[in-house]
Structure 1
């Protein structure tokens, strides 16, 4: 048994794509997260209700698999399911399919409930999870860690100042901005010649308004797979890590 599924149609808009006319990975995640929020609103678990209780949902990790990025003006079906939960973690699945049912992308995500005053993870409240009919489990999923960026050699870096527009209702940087920072640290030639196949991204510490972040990326072309490894850091803190697999652009 698993939770209630929810689906909605979405037309890919021009501002969700880059110069290749394909959706960016950040916008791909945005589209899936919108479906998640729309389901929550339909079930009465609105942002206003969660904030009224003094909490906010925070994502700790995404595992993303991409068969093909949706293209500009393409109509897709976005499906999501709050699959299971335990005392502290909620697990949600997402799928994006073409009009003819072809699976284009899928994502597995981990959410926690954050106490907005204490800035600490809280136990999942029954009234915030029961509407989804998710399975309760005593097990904690052991998801793979992103690969580590070990050497500073050949690491490409860019710095960014966190803007007011980057902050969400939880008072920290919206998770989607990390994707843009990570991809932007890669050379344009690499991005034009390769398509993202898989991404494992894990959030470790919050980034706030006014912080200066450094995006660090390493391209590994030493074996049969094309990989990149990423870090987002503030001056003293490692905030987010990711590892990606790529294929040559078709």
Structure 2
């Protein structure tokens, strides 16, 4: 059976939205991560406790399915549940509901435990995941991954310098900035008239303070699809495939 559920309410505020008045996709992910962190604290596995053990959670993949994005001033409920885990990966689901109880967003996330000193993935420890009551499995989920973006296929490229403010307590770029760097490459008029339908993003390598990233994009407006890649030099840091839908 899947693990314990945990729910928090949230009222969307203007600085979490874009010019369309809808919740930014990066802020959406951050809100979900906050609910996950709060559940961990209530279960006695706080970020501070993990830090004392020399560990921290990192995300390796998010798959976000959107019926519609919440809007400014809207009250929503965010529920999270640890589904299962194996030796190196933890799988967790997030659901957003509107005031009528309708599910408007769902996100499936893959977490890894990082050894902060070695900067490497660590084996999952029972004392860390036990309180969530997720199922143990020997299987590794075979999730869809974004297609490889060849340099010649990228019609749009922008550069961004990583600032001190972009770095979080895990000493690498906070995931929200990958969404900003990727979507900032798309035409403004398109972003004003469309929203995400599905966002499949995979994190591959850390980005550090002071580095310069290249955001590469292949945009197919006719198919309502964009392919993204974040690079530091020749190193791929993050990839994504985004399916879009017209705003209603």
Would you say same fold, with TM above 0.5? yes
Cα separation, 1, equivalents of 2:131 and 2:4 = 9
Native 8 Å contact 2:155 2:217 kept in 1 = yes
Distance 2:234 2:216 in 1: 14
TM-score by length of 2: 0.97
TM-score of the superposition, structure 1-length normalised? Answer: 0.97
186-195 or 238-247, larger mean C-alpha shift: 186-195
Contact 2:149 2:229 in 1 (8 A): yes
Distance in 2 separating the partners of 1:176 and 1:126:
29
* Bigger mean CA offset, 146-155 vs 156-165: 146-155
Contact conserved, 2:146 with 2:241, CA < 8 A, in 1?
yes
Query: Which residues of structure 2 form unaligned runs of 5+?
Result: none
Query: Which position in structure 2 is the counterpart of 1:70?
Result: 70
CA distance in 2, matches of 1:170, 1:231: 22
Equivalent of residue 238 in structure 1, options 236, 239, 242: 236
Deviation per residue, 1:18-70 (Å, 9 max, x gap):
11100010011111111101101111111111010111111000011000000
Unaligned runs of 5+ in 1: none
Shift of 1:151: 5.3
User: Which SS does the other structure have where 1:113 is aligned?
Assistant: strand
CA drift of 1:249 comes to 2.1
Query: Contact conserved, 2:154 with 2:216, CA < 8 A, in 1?
Result: no
Name the counterpart of 1:20. Answer: 20
Q: Aligned residues, how many?
A: 248
Q: CA deviation at 1:216?
A: 1.1
What is the DSSP-based 3-state SS (H/G/I as helix, E as strand, rest coil) of the residue aligned with 1:138?
Answer: coil
Structure 1 runs (4+) deviating above 6 angstroms are: none
